[in-house]
Amino acid sequence: MAIETVGVVGAGQMGNGIAHVMALAGYDVLLNDVDQDAIDRALETVEKNLDRQVTREKITAAERDAALSRIKPTLRLADLGQTDLVIEAATERESVKQAIFDELLPHLKPETILTSNTSSISITRLASRTDRPEKFMGFHFMNPVPVMQLVELIRGIATDQATYKACLEVVNKLGKTAAPAEDFPAFIVNRILMPMINEAVYTLYEGVGSVKSIDESMKLGANHPMGPLELADFIGLDTCLAIMNVLHDGLADTKYRPCPLLTKYVEAGWLGRKTGRGFYDYRGDEPVPTR
């Protein structure tokens, strides 16, 4: 089927980025959230990021204006029912995602493709709760969405070839690169990335190095653009912990056991940049290591 309209569930960091790139590629976008303030912040962020692209001469002012005109906000999840493609980009908790799909299903067109931006949860299991497992798949963007080139496309056991091809065509129209991934816990990127971050937290927990020395070692010694603890703060420590729990539970291997220090930071509400504190304290002019 030809996809012309896209519904995005969740106006957070991932949702507003997905709305941004979809609208810029010419799709009409309905952006949904339960919180009007979240939608307002998302629209401000999209406009600011589009302005930055104009300043850097990546796009024209006319392209920016056209993209902004294609994004329509809504507090009603049912409004997304008439779109051709729905991308769920809510928090990384399976119960939340299932509740969204349960509420959305009665309003969907029969041909609508339903997808999740989950970074770790089983696509097959999410699809089994819907009336269209053959039209359900994982559509995992990387953060920040307007900048990162990769999109993981994950088929569940029931996903049909027509659905995969339709989503692949969307990725190509966005000018991004698709990485087909099998439906295993955390897929490709996070299967590799999260254990590295978790090991960096263990390295801190065991006193092998400080926050600064660990991050500088990986930046200068392995040529990483961002240290693993800085990256964890950027992603969100709650998200990192959720993915490690999915890996640990799904693969039943002790090497995926979340570091107790990561759990402690999450319990303290120190989730990284979004809360002002994580492995760094962001409340001053410059980030300061917390350990």
Tell me whether residue 57 is one of the annotated catalytic residues.
Answer: no
Q: What own/partner pairs with CB < 8 Å and gap ≥ 24 does 60-63 have?
A: 63/24
Catalytic residue among 16, 32, 190, 198: 190
Task: Name the 3-class secondary structure at 87.
Answer: strand
Tell me whether residue 152 is one of the annotated catalytic residues.
Answer: yes
Taking only Cα atoms into account, the Rg of the chain, rounded to an integer number of angstroms, comes to 19
Peptide bond into 144 cis (omega under 30): yes
Q: What own/partner pairs with CB < 8 Å and gap ≥ 24 does 220-227 have?
A: 227/200
How do strand 280-281 and strand 288-289 relate by DSSP bridges?
A: antiparallel
HSE-CB of 133 using CA atoms within 13 angstroms: 11
Q: Is 186 left (phi over 0), alpha (psi -120 to 50) or beta?
A: left
The helix-helix angle for 237-251 and 228-235 (nearest 10°) equals 100
Task: Name the 3-class secondary structure at 72.
Answer: strand
Catalytic residue among 32, 140, 198, 230: 140
Tell me whether residue 111 is one of the annotated catalytic residues.
Answer: no
Euclidean distance between CA atoms 102 and 282, whole angstroms: 38
Residue pair 28/74 in contact (Cβ under 8 Å)? The answer is: no
DSSP state of 276: T
Catalytic residue among 116, 119, 120, 198: 119
Euclidean distance between CA atoms 121 and 154, whole angstroms: 11
> What backbone phi and psi angles, to 5 degrees, belong to 14?
-75, -45
Residue 47 tokens, joined: 């406009």
Tell me whether residue 122 is one of the annotated catalytic residues.
Answer: no
Catalytic residue among 88, 120, 122, 152: 152
Euclidean distance between CA atoms 71 and 183, whole angstroms: 31
Q: Which residues are catalytic?
A: 119, 140, 152, 190
